[in-house]
Structure 1
Amino acid sequence: MEERIQEALSSIRDAIQMDGGDVEFVSYDGLTKTAFVSLQGACVGCPASVMTLKMGVERTIKKVAPEVENVEAV
């Protein structure tokens, strides 16, 4: 599961880095089916980071790993 999540993040990392941010995989909780990621760089404190997390990161992870039900930033 972690490899698939890492693969999903790699596929969108360039787009996030173009805006000065980054995203890093932290962990996956199989009980709650939640992936935890860390938004970094320009994403920290950015008002659009929630949109990046839900519409970009979460959507991409769910496409590669449909078992993931939630993605949360830590």
Structure 2
Amino acid sequence: MIPFSDEELMQPVKESLKVVMPMLERDGGGMELLGIKNGVVYVQLTGHCHGCAASGQTLKYGVERQLKIDIHPELTVVNIPIGEKFEL
């Protein structure tokens, strides 16, 4: 169980995502933080990352790994594809 509320996680998650953004940007991609609910971080991959065959690995071994190192080992990341309806 994650010992933080979703609101308490927001700023640390933003800071942690800043660490991985240069990796995405080098490949012409990007990412938008959509929100956090129950310890799940919802993002939207943009640019060349959107629809990329390696985007699943980028999320798991890049983004999610960084969040687990920086904040808590139980955090997970979910990509919401562009155009898909999303509400927290």
For structure 2, the residue ranges without an aligned partner over 5 or more in a row are 1-8, 81-88
Contact 2:67/2:75, CA 8 A, preserved across alignment: no
* TM-score, scaled relative to structure 1: 0.89
**1:62 aligned to which of 60, 68, 80:** 68
Cα distance, 1:35 vs structure 2:
0.7
Higher RCO (CA 8 Å, separation ≥ 6 residues): 1
Percent identity reads: 32
Larger-gyration structure (1/2): 2
Cα distance, 1:68 vs structure 2:
4.4
**Larger % of strand: which?**
1
For structure 1, the residue ranges without an aligned partner over 5 or more in a row are none
Aligned length: 72
- 1:48 aligns to 2:54 (yes or no): yes
